[in-house]
């Protein structure tokens, strides 16, 4: 009940946001494929998640987007890590926001289940942008950072046309619309939206460019409504056990893309289906 109230509060908040000057149409990054494959935290089937190696693997297998998680160090440097704490990926205690960048670079990322994958640096945002430039698009999960600081780095790297920003909090929506009105923004589908009418009403007022959220929270009617509003649905399907049965169910809904933990396997599946 509290979560539903929170979702309704978020929607009510967005309805009150003054958004002068927003372009009528915001262009999504160009892709070579109709069906979008997003590598969740990179391709971490051969390297620890959210590392340069995982991102390079995603590039090598032909993924359309890598999903990365942006955070800020104690000295305002932008880095990539999913959790606010470094513990899970490094074995050290501490939160990103409390650690200086130079100290953070001394802490190495490793995968506890795959020691053979070696140790890796926590990447800076600028390193990821440089690696991806001209090769792959970025799905930026905007965890804890300044939109202004992030956009400066994006512009410096020439990646402003290769980025979609996932919004986690109310203020992020406002900040990005003011700072970079042409930047495509994404948010998850509120669980209170379960019919075509509800989806249509949502998208009439919510000026979002892409929808996210678990694939099993959608149905054919809500996806049809999103298509009619020209808002693609790139749903989450990532899990350790995801496979053909899950992909078949998701594809039957008419989704425009999937975020996966198994990008190579999903791409192979799409090729066999004649979709890629």
pLDDT in tens, 111-160: 988 989 999 999 999 999 999 999 999 999 999 999 999 999 999 999 99
- Specify the 3-state DSSP secondary structure of 229: coil
76 Cβ neighbours under 8 A, 6+ residues apart: 146, 149
Distances (CA, A) of 180 to 19, 21, 65, 71, 142: 12, 11, 20, 19, 14
Report the C-alpha gap between 140 and 185 in whole angstroms.
10
140: its two tokens: 């930026």
> CA 34, 186, 59 angle in degrees (round to 5)?
50
pTM above 0.85, yes or no: yes
Q: Which of 23-32, 98-107, 212-221, 243-252 has the lowest mean pLDDT?
A: 23-32
Q: What is the dihedral of CA 210, 213, 214, 215, to 10 degrees?
A: -20
Residue 24's pLDDT band, with cuts at 50, 70 and 90, is low
Report the C-alpha gap between 24 and 228 in whole angstroms.
16
Q: Provide the pLDDT for residue 18.
A: 47
Q: What is the pLDDT of residues 42-61, one digit of tens each?
A: 999 999 999 999 999 999 99
% of the chain with per-residue pLDDT over 70: 91
CB atoms within 10 A of CB 114: 13
Q: Provide the pLDDT for residue 205.
A: 85
Q: What mean pLDDT is reported for the chain?
A: 91
For residues 192-197, average pLDDT = 92
Q: Is the pLDDT of residue 20 over 50?
A: no
């Amino acid at each position: 009940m509290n979560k539903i109230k929170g979702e309704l509060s978020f929607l009510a908040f967005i309805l009150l946001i003054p958004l002068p000057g927003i372009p009528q149409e915001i262009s999504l990054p160009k892709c070579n494929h109709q069906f979008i494959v997003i590598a969740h935290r990179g391709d971490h089937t051969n390297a620890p998640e959210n590392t340069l190696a995982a991102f390079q693997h995603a590039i090598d297998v032909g993924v359309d987007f890598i999903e990365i998680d942006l955070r800020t160090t104690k000295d305002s440097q932008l880095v990539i890590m999913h959790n606010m704490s470094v513990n899970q990926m490094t074995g050290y205690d501490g939160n990103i926001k409390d650690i200086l960048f130079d100290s953070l670079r001394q802490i190495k990322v490793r995968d506890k289940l795959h020691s053979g994958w070696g140790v890796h640096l926590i990447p800076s945002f600028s390193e990821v942008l440089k690696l991806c430039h001209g090769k792959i698009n970025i799905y930026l999960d905007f965890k804890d950072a300044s939109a202004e600081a992030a956009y400066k780095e994006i512009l410096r790297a020439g990646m402003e046309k290769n980025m979609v920003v996932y919004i986690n909090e109310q203020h992020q929506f406002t900040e990005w619309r003011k700072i970079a009105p042409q930047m495509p923004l994404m948010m998850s589908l509120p669980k209170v939206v379960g019919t075509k009418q509800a989806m249509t009403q949502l998208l009439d007022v919510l000026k979002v460019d892409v929808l996210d959220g678990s694939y099993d929270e959608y149905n054919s009617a809500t996806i049809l409504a999103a298509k009619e509003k020209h808002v693609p649905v790139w749903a989450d399907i990532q899990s350790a056990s995801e496979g053909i049965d899950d992909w078949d169910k998701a594809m039957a809904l008419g989704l425009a893309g999937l975020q996966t933990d198994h990008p190579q396997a999903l791409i192979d599946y799409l090729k066999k289906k004649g979709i890629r």
